[in-house]
Amino acid sequence: MRQHSLLLQNHTHRGAMAAALVLLLPFFLPTLFTPLGHAMPSVFSEWNAPKPRHSRLLKSALQRETSDAEVTELWKPLADQQWKRCDLSDQKSAALPKKSQGYIQVFLDGGLNQQRMGICDAVAVAKILNATLVIPYLEINPVWQDSSTFMDIFNVDRFIDALKDDISIVKELPAEYYWSTREYYATAIRANRVKTAPVHASANWYIENVLPVIQSYGIAAIAPFSHRLAFENMPEDIQRLRCKVNFQALVFVPHIRALGEALVGRLRSSTSTNEGERNNYIRQFNGAKDKRGIGKFVVLHLRFDKDMAAHSACDFGGGKAEKLALAKYRQVIWQGRVLNSQFTDEELRSQGRCPLTPEEIGLLLAALGFDNSTRLYLASHKVYGGEARISTLRSLFPLMEDKKSLASSEERDQIKGKASLLAAVDYYVSMHSDIFISASPGNMHNAVVGHRTYENKKTIRPNMALLGQLFLNKSLTWPEFQAAVIKGHKNRQGQLRIRKSTQSIYTYPAPDCMCNA
C-alpha cells in the first residue's frame, strides 16, 4: 500500500463507511475507488469518437436565433428575495472560554469542496467543546493526488482573524504535542484518535465521546471527519458559526484570487492571452457580441469523468467499444455491483439518473436562449472522451473558454498539476460569473450553489428527469423541446429554497445563514 493511503485505510470504519456511502451515493462512490482503475489495462479502444446522440435537435440548435428581449431576460440578475445575506461578522457566538479544554485535530478526506465543509464543521466542533482547533490537515486524495496544505489554498491569517472572537485556532501544535502527526496515527492504534464518529453525529455525541479524550490526553485527533456533524438539532449559534466560516472566513490565498480575478476580467473583456485560432474566433465575434450579453459569462461546471460515466451505467453514445470499456471498469472497480446496471438506459434516463453529456448540456443552454455569442467558461477537470465529446458543445458555443485557454503558461505553472488549486480557481470564477450551471450534482455543485444562494446570484439547476424524458423522445421538434425546457426551468434559476432539517446548511444557507429581508 502506498504511503499516502495509509491513513485512508485506517479510516475504514465499516459502520460509518457504509452509512456514508448510502448518503453520498452515487457521486462520491465513484471517486472513492478510482485509484484501482489507474492500474487497469485498457483492453478496448474507447476512443471511437462519440457521435452526437441528438443530431436532429442539434441541427436546429445550431441555427437558433433569439430575440434581444429573450437575451436581456436571460442575463438579468436575480430579483431580491425574501432572504438576504446577514452581516455575519457582527454575529459572535458565545464568548471564548477562559481556558481551552485542549486541542482538536482533524484529518480531511475528499477533494477541495468536501474538505471545505470539513473545515467548517471542525470549527463548529471546536466551539462545541471549547477546544482549540489546529489548522485542519488536508489528506492527499488518491484520485486528485494534490499535496497542497490548508495554507497553500486558504489565507490562514485571515481565517484565524475572522474567527478570533469565536474560537482559538493555532497553525501548529505546541512542542509538547509534536508527536501528534498524521504518521503517528497512520502507523498504530492510538488512544486519543477518535475514529468512530458517526455520520452526522450530534453536538452531544462530541461532548460525551470526544471531550473525555481531550481531557485525558490534551488532544483528540478525529479521522475520518467528513460529514461527521449533524445539520439538525444544532444550536443556532453553532449553525451561524458554520455559515461564518464557509461564507466569510474561508478565502483563497492571494495568488489564487489574483488568477481568478484575471480570468474573470478576460472573460468580461473577451480577450484571451492565448494566441492562434481561438483569438481569431474571438475577434470575429466581437462585433456581434457587443450588442448582447456584453461583458457577461456563464460558468458551466462539467463533471463527466470515467468513474461517473461507468457508475451511472448509462449509455453515452460512444458505441460498443465505450459500452464494453465502461462495463469492464464496473467489473474491475465494483465487481459489477452497481445498482444502476439493473436498469435499462431508457429507465435510467427517464428517472433523470444519467449525468448530462456535454452535448446535452449544450442543447439545454441553447434551448434556454443562450446564443452562439455567449461566453462560456468550462469549469471542469477532465472530460471522459476528451475533445471529441466536447466538440459538439463547442459547436454550439464557439466562445468556450477554460483555465487553459485563458491563462498564460506562466500563470498556469503556479497551479499546474495541483487539483485543489485548479478547483479553487474554478470555484472563484464560478462565484463571480453572471450565471452558473452544473451538469451533475456533487460536492462542487453543492458548494457553489449554496454560496451563490447566499449571495443571491443566478444559478440554473438542470431538471434531470425532465431532460432525460425529453431526450428519449426522438420525435420531439426543436420548438417543442425548447418550450418544454423553458417551462421546466422557470423556477430553477436560483429561487431560494429553504433548508429541510437534515439538509446541508452549506447547500441550503437559508434560513440559518441568512436574514429575513
What residues make contact with ligand NAG under the rule CB under 6 A?
Answer: 63-65, 94, 97, 101, 129-130, 207, 211, 372, 398, 473, 475-476, 480
Q: Is 472 helix (H, G, I), strand (E, B) or coil?
A: helix
Give the three-state DSSP class for 137.
Answer: strand
| Integer Cα distance of 230 and 128 in angstroms | 13
Nearer to ligand NAG, 350 or 430 (CB): 350
Q: Measured at the alpha carbon of residue 105, what is the angle toward residues 99 and 107, in degrees to the nearest 5?
A: 165
Nearer to ligand NAG, 65 or 275 (CB): 65
- 446, burial (CB in 10 Å: exposed 0-12, middle 13-18, buried 19+): buried
Of the two residues 97 and 441, which places its CB atom closer to ligand NAG in the complex? 97
CB of 71 to ligand NAG, least distance (A): 12
Give yes or no for a contact between 381 and 422, defined as CB atoms under 8 angstroms apart. Answer: yes
Please report how close the Cβ of residue 191 comes to ligand NAG at its closest, in angstroms.
20
Other beta carbons within 10 angstroms of residue 305's beta carbon come to 21
Shortest separation between residue 480's beta carbon and ligand NAG, angstroms: 5
Closer CB to ligand NAG, residue 14 or residue 99? Answer: 99
DSSP one-letter string for 155-207: -HHHHHHHTTTT--EESS--GGGTT--HHHHHHS--TTEE--PPTTB-HHHHH
**Least distance to ligand NAG, CB of residue 188, Å:** 29
Looking at beta carbons only, is 64 or 268 nearer to ligand NAG?
64
- The one-letter code for the residue type at 260 is G
Cα→Cα distances 187→145, 175, 184, Å: 21, 21, 6
Query: Which residues lie closer than 8 Å to 235 by C-beta, 6 or more apart?
Result: 203
Helix (H/G/I), strand (E/B), else coil: 427: helix
Output the smallest distance, CB 502 to ligand NAG, in A: 24
The half-sphere exposure of 503 on its side-chain side, counting CA atoms within 13 A, is 14
Instruction: Tell me whether residue 93 or residue 438 sits nearer to ligand NAG (CB atom).
Output: 93
Q: What DSSP letter does each residue of 282-299 carry, written as one string? A: HHHHHHHHTTSSTT--EE
Between CA 259 and CA 412 the distance in angstroms is 9
Measured from the CB atom, is 436 or 478 closer to ligand NAG? 478
Sign of CA dihedral 459, 464, 465, 468: positive
CB of 220 to ligand NAG, least distance (A): 13
Neighbouring C-beta atoms of residue 121, cutoff 10 Å: 28
Q: Retrieve residue 508's grid coordinates.
A: 441550503
CB of 105 to ligand NAG, least distance (A): 17
Nearer to ligand NAG, 338 or 476 (CB): 476
Smallest distance, Å, CB 99 to ligand NAG?
A: 9
Any alpha helices (H) in 335-477, and if so which ranges? 345-350, 358-368, 386-396, 403-406, 409-413, 419-431, 443-454, 464-472
CB 479 → ligand NAG: shortest distance, Å?
Answer: 10
In the complex, the smallest distance separating the C-beta of residue 254 from ligand NAG, rounded to whole angstroms, is 35
Nearer to ligand NAG, 36 or 207 (CB): 207
- Nearest residue (CB) to ligand NAG, 65 versus 80: 65
